[in-house]
Structure 1
Amino acid sequence: MAVTEAGRSLRGKVAIAGIGASDYFRHGGSSESEFSMVLRAIIAAAEDAGIEIGEIDGFVAYSNDGSNPVRLATALGIRELRLGGMQFGGGGGGSAGHVAIGAAAIAAGLADCVIAFRGCRQGEVGRFGRGVGYSGSGGGPEVSGYDLGGAAMGPYGAFAAPHKYALKAKRMLAQYGVGQSTMRAVAMAAYHHAQSNPAAVMKNRTLTSEQYDQSRWIAEPYHLYDCCQESDAAAAVLLVSAERARTLRQDPVYILSAGQSGEFRSGAGGENVPDYATAGYRSLIDRLYKDAGISVEAIDSFQVYDNFTAGVVMGLVELGVCGYENADAILTLENLIAPNGFAPLNTSGGNFAEAYILGMGHHLEAVRQLRGTSPNQVAGASVSVAMGGPMTSLTSGVVYGTEATL
């Protein structure tokens, strides 16, 4: 018997019933292990949902998270572990793909109560900012291959992520004639939102246009504030079926669509990707919008993985917020901040100013917006999007909606 498109869709079948997080610190600031921080986030998500820890039967993560599901299940006293999953590829590009995996498992009956999570304690496992070969997060085949620090890039000084993604930023600015003011606006919006967020690492640290412009170069065209911070933090969401979610403590936040995308030769080494100045969202967005039954006009808040500002600019263009031809006019600070901006962006502060948890915090903020509990609430929000990537070889995204959107 043929399976209909509606039968294959996740739309409205699975919901987030709980969210949780550890305390957030600058890198090296936590006295706890990464594993302990992840446990705290999971326990908080279960308490938020009103679910007993023993009911959890699945864990999914991404970007090679070090907290093994079997170890988590043992530490938490889980009765039976039915799902242990990992979204591979793309680093932070997979930061929504694990939610898709957990939701699909619930919809297929492989698990009933799944935690999607990520922990990050860079003082323990190596700092991303140091790059490969320098106690950073990279290594392995990259050291002798065609990526950061490898034969094609190392001799030219490209050892860390800013070096790699600055090349894409330069291409965007040159190819499309976009001004650096768009990148400045992305950074300033994050710091603006963090000032209202008690949990944000950068609360009480404002960012002005003068501070941005005068900050040191990291890798042109990236200034200091074009780059995400490094943090010690963990966060988690708890997924259950829509039917179960309606019986629990919080108003459900439904998954309207979810997925991942690695476009043609997106993983080519030596910066040989055919479509170079891209967030990697073009094919993915078409599917997400179609499956969710929405257009960009329906989205009330945009939680876009902010590794570097230029990627967020590309992402907003590919999400349909604007085109490159009018990006300078649309992507301004006023248009990117809640509550009244045209496209409220990373309304908790994002990776830049709340905490760098490889994008996991973006899901918590998407949920808060739809519950009406965000520190920078968009009035009447009913649809939020959380996107992983951008500029990575693999990207992912989730469209979330309230009951009213079903």
Structure 2
Amino acid sequence: MTFRGATAVAGVSELHYPRGGAPAGERALVLEAILAACRDAGISPRDVDGFASYAGGDNSGPVLAADLGIRELRWSSMVWGGGGGGVAAAIGAAAAAVVSGQAECVVAFRGMAQRDTGRLGYAKYYFDNNYLPHGVATPAHVCALRTQRMLEHDGVPRSAMRNLVLAAYRHAQQNPDAAGYGKPLDEAKYDASPLIVEPFHLFDCSRENDGAVALVITAAERAAELAQPPAYLLAAAQGAPGGYSALTENDRHYTSAGFAAGDSGAGVASRLFDRAGVKPGEVDVVQVYENFSGPAVASLIDHGLCPQGPAAGEFMTVENLTAPGGALPVNTSGGNIADSFVNGMGLAVEAVRQVRGTSRNQAGAADTSLFIGGPMAPLVSSVLFGSDRTL
């Protein structure tokens, strides 16, 4: 079986609303997003025969299949572990189902309506007796511990985090759909914002939204005949280094976002690039999951896109991170921080837009578009999209 270029994203959609402000519950939002993604692809929703998601939820494949009236359900999967770390893995699972002949048209999706499910800020599914007795009760606490170690031990300057945030807000000013649209951010306002948990200021933290996102994945040949330019999947990878686990806080690779090589010499990032036949320096644009800015910087370092230590500050400038002229445009819709947060899946839609050439902050002719899933989780994942020129 050949994975590289065998499948493509043919349709996308995203819906997002302020937290608690969705006009319907999570199931209705997911169905609306799937219907919109099918319209974008130019297919009937009855043509869908598989579903893939992550991070839990009650909207399983059989439930959605019945609601949509599909002809036959052939694939239904959920990525275990990691919360948003599994977002790119869900897209990879959908592609694997198509490549292996298990299904022909799979939707990768995520929906959130926090009046139904409660807030993600307190992740009770994630924290156990290693955490709670010590006052560690939120993702912000865990990621702050690891980020502070990255700053103090590895020497990554705080400016790298700040500039990632400022670039996201700069992109949001060109995106009328973004929550940060019309709310520009500068260094003074960022620095004056309150600390949430050191070293994270208010603006280092992702938003919380209601909404739903869906991507239609099908065979490359079929996608090429549909309504939109295909975004081909060049590679996908998931996992974590041996000895790495946010559930113990004793792992050796403590400042990694989870994508770096472990003792085996392999890792999620290196496997991704090896499978794609692409080097980190050949990536045109990146959408990196920033639950908080520090883990996003660690993700870029893990993928070889940003140098380690003090040199990270020299690379992570607002100019380098901003489209269209930056050396590596990052989070061109505004990202989880300045656009919206539907457990990170909206970043995948923006990655596809870059390949299509339809982003509001287009990074030139983006032939390679990387989507990095949620960092510093027990399981992480990435997927690399490409245009037809990469095949």
Matched-pair contact (CA < 8 Å) for 2:240–2:259: no
Structure 1 counterpart of 2:258, from 277, 280, 297: 280
Paired residue for 2:173, among 180, 195, 203?
A: 195
| Aligned mate of 2:93, from 101, 110, 116 | 101
Confirm or deny: 8 A CA contact 2:178 2:333 kept in the other structure: yes
Counterpart among 143, 158, 183 of residue 205 in structure 1: 183
How far does residue 208 in structure 1 lie from its aligned partner after superposition? 1.2
In the alignment, does 2:4 pair up with 1:20? no
Q: Deviations over 1:99-130 (max 9, x none)?
A: 1111011011100000001011222211112x
State yes or no: 1:261 paired with 2:239. yes
- The amino acid across from 1:153 in the alignment is Y
Q: Provide the rounded CA distance (Å) in 1 between the counterparts of 2:388 and 2:30.
A: 29
Letter in 2 for 1:305: Y
SS at match of 2:377: coil
Matched residue, 1:215: 193
Query: Which position in structure 1 is the counterpart of 2:135?
Result: 157
Shift in CA distance, 106/295, structure 1 to aligned 2, threshold 3 Å: same
**1:401 maps to what in 2?**
386
Say if 1:94 and 1:234 are closer, same or farther in 2 by CA, change over 3 A: same
Alignment of 1:162-311 (within 5 A): 162-267=140-245, 269-282=247-260, 283-311=267-295
Cross-structure match for 1:317: 301
Mapped contact 2:246–2:377 kept (Cα < 8 A): no
Q: Distance in 2 between matches of 1:361 and 1:342?
A: 23
In structure 2, distance between residues paired with 1:154 and 1:371:
45
Please show how residues 337-376 of structure 1 align to structure 2 within 5 Å.
Answer: 337-376=322-361
Instruction: Summarize the Cα distance change of 1:75–1:372 in structure 2 as closer, same or farther, 3 Å threshold.
Output: same
Q: Is the 8 A contact 1:335 1:341 kept in 2?
A: yes
- State the 1:293 CA deviation: 0.8
1:110 matched to 2:102? The reply is: yes
Residue 117 of structure 2 is aligned to residue 125 of structure 1? yes
Deviation of 1:268 after TM superposition, in Å, equals 5.8
- 1:280/1:389 contact within 8 Å kept: no
Alpha-carbon distance, 1:289 to partner: 0.8
- Whether contact under 8 Å (2:81, 2:379) holds in the other structure is yes
Aligned residue runs from structure 1 range 23-62, under 5 A? 24-62=16-54
Deviation at 1:66, TM superposition (A): 2.6
In 2, the alpha carbon distance for the partners of 1:355 and 1:34 equals 16
Q: Following the alignment from structure 2 to structure 1, what is the Cα–Cα distance between the partners of residues 52 and 303? A: 26
Instruction: Check whether the contact 1:263–1:394 (CA below 8 A) recurs between aligned residues.
Output: no
| Offset, 1:195 | 1.4
User: 1:262 & 1:153 partners in 2: Cα distance?
Assistant: 20
Shift in Å, 1:97: 0.2
Deviation at 1:266, TM superposition (A): 2.1
Show the counterpart of 2:367. 382
Displacement of 1:196 in angstroms is: 1.1
What is the deviation of 1:396? 0.5
TM-score by length of 2: 0.96
TM-score by length of 1: 0.92
Q: Does 1:138 align with 2:138?
A: no
Counterpart AA for 1:20: S
SS across alignment from 1:80: coil
**Which deviates further from its counterpart, 371-380 or 269-278?**
269-278
Amino acid at match of 1:355: S
Post-superposition, which runs of at least 4 consecutive aligned residues in structure 1 deviate over 6 A? none
| Equivalent runs, 1:56-75 vs 2, <5 Å | 56-75=48-67
**1:45 and 1:237 in contact (8 A); partners too:** yes
* Conserved 8 A contact 1:184-1:212: yes
Shift, 1:369, TM fit: 0.4
In 1, the alpha carbon distance for the partners of 2:130 and 2:382 equals 31
Aligned length: 384
Confirm or deny: 8 A CA contact 1:231 1:356 kept in the other structure: yes
Question: 1:227-278 CA deviation, whole Å, 9 max, x = no partner?
Answer: 1111011111101101111111111110000120122122363411221001
Task: Rate the CA distance shift 1:250–1:25 in 2: closer, same or farther, 3 A.
Answer: same
CA RMSD of aligned residues (A): 1.2
2:247 and 2:378 in contact (8 A); partners too:
no
> In the alignment, is the contact (CA less than 8 A) between 2:239 and 2:268 conserved in 1?
yes
- The residue aligned with 1:82 is 74
SS in 2 for 1:324: coil
- Aligned counterparts of 1:395 and 1:269: Cα–Cα separation in 2: 14
Alignment partner, residue 264 of structure 2: none
